[in-house]
A and B are shown apart, each in its own frame.
Chain A
Amino acid sequence: MKNTNDVKAEIKKYILEASLSDIKDVEDDALIFENGLLDSMGLLFLIEFLGESFEVEVTDEELNPKNFESINNIVSFVSNKLSVKV
């Protein structure tokens, strides 16, 4: 099973690649929608990535800032889902 650090590294790498920006790094608590790293399609592709990489499915109700507004929040959301799954 992947640990939290592995999950964070994968998610961060994905977001940096997906943003198509020149940014080399992003703070773990940076607000990724506010600073323009991801837009609505970016969020949709992120959800697809979470499904493919971690087998995590996102529901309507889970789609909120608490789960998605920063890398830390996404990692926490994914980790919780993974521990529930196990």
Chain B
Amino acid sequence: MKSESRKPFSKDIIHIENIDQVCNDIIAKLKTDVAKNLQRRGAIVGISGGIDSSVCLALSAKAFGSKNVLGIMLPEQDSSDDSRQLAEELAATYGVSTLIEDITKALDGFGCYERRDDAILRVIPGFDKKVDKAKIEIKQNIAENIPAIFSITVIKPNGDVVSKLLPAREYLQIVASTNFKQRSRMSMLYYHAERMHYAVIGTPNKHEVEQGFFVKYGDGGADVMPIGHFYKTQVYQLAKHLGVPQGIIDRTPTTDTYTAEQSQEDFFYQMPFESMDLIWYGWENDYPADEVGKVMDKTTKEIENIYKSFERKRKTTEYLRMKPIF
């Protein structure tokens, strides 16, 4: 039961006040988890040039020393070009060694691209995989009380856009195919972790873990997840405090999974991080919808529907967080 004396809901409610202490605590826990609990002597971090993996690399470098951390870039044919450059800048900032493991051939072997493109072609018959770009996205308003359904959007070289609601079979095939990417990356990270007797540092943040925006046994497969309890805006706070390069902080978070550019907001979250963090906090701490609505400039009904959407996402993705049952 929430006490009457708790903080009133405000836009600063999840701002980390004692950032230095919080960073030190994460670093101390990471050291204990890896050295004592997991009994490993260093850390492997898959780095994409994104904010989450960058913060995890920075924390790892501070916890274990630069020489005991290896940053691994895992590009494939659909990765954006600036990912590598940003990841290299990050590694140089913390003096961490890096490796590049291109997983395109492995994905080709799995039939990742072919299976995905076949499904897209069944929905958009004019799709030309050689030149068209494609992505999946949620188009509904999160404040409307209906579960999220994905659409496929194809962008032609001349800029024409074709978009269609994805039927169940094709949606599942596209997701299952592209999940080879995260699972192949996980396999490669564990190869290096095992050959070096290191631990794999998982990079999901609180939203990814709790809303199920990760691939089971893909990016969800790791030994320790140091930022798994932190909201996205808090991850940005950590990034600034740890000195992550500005180019990474300024970059729009993307999935880096589909050929067309795609923000995480379009793909999954349906609202900007700044709002989502606060409303999620309000929801999980039982703040009344009207109190949150006033601060967020939304109606009580809108907040109630967003709360329901969070509840649905957490419930429907429970399977991803479950361990094998026996």
Contact = CB atoms under 8 A, between A and B. Distances in A.
Contact of B169 (A48, A58, A64, A68): A48
Interface residues of B, number: 21
Contact of B146 (A36, A45, A68): A68
A48 B168 contact: yes
A43 B147 contact: yes
A41 B168 contact: yes
A71 to B, nearest CB: 15
Interface of B: 139-140, 144-149, 151, 163-169, 171, 308, 312, 315-316
Contacts of B148: 40
B165 A59 contact: yes
B147 A60 contact: no
B267 to A, nearest CB: 14
A31 to B, nearest CB: 8
Contacts, number: 58
Interface in A30-57: 31, 33-34, 36, 38-45, 47-48, 51
A69 to B, nearest CB: 7
Interface residues of A, number: 23
A47 B167 contact: yes
B316 A65 contact: no
Nearest to A58: B165
B146 A65 contact: yes
B139 A60 contact: yes
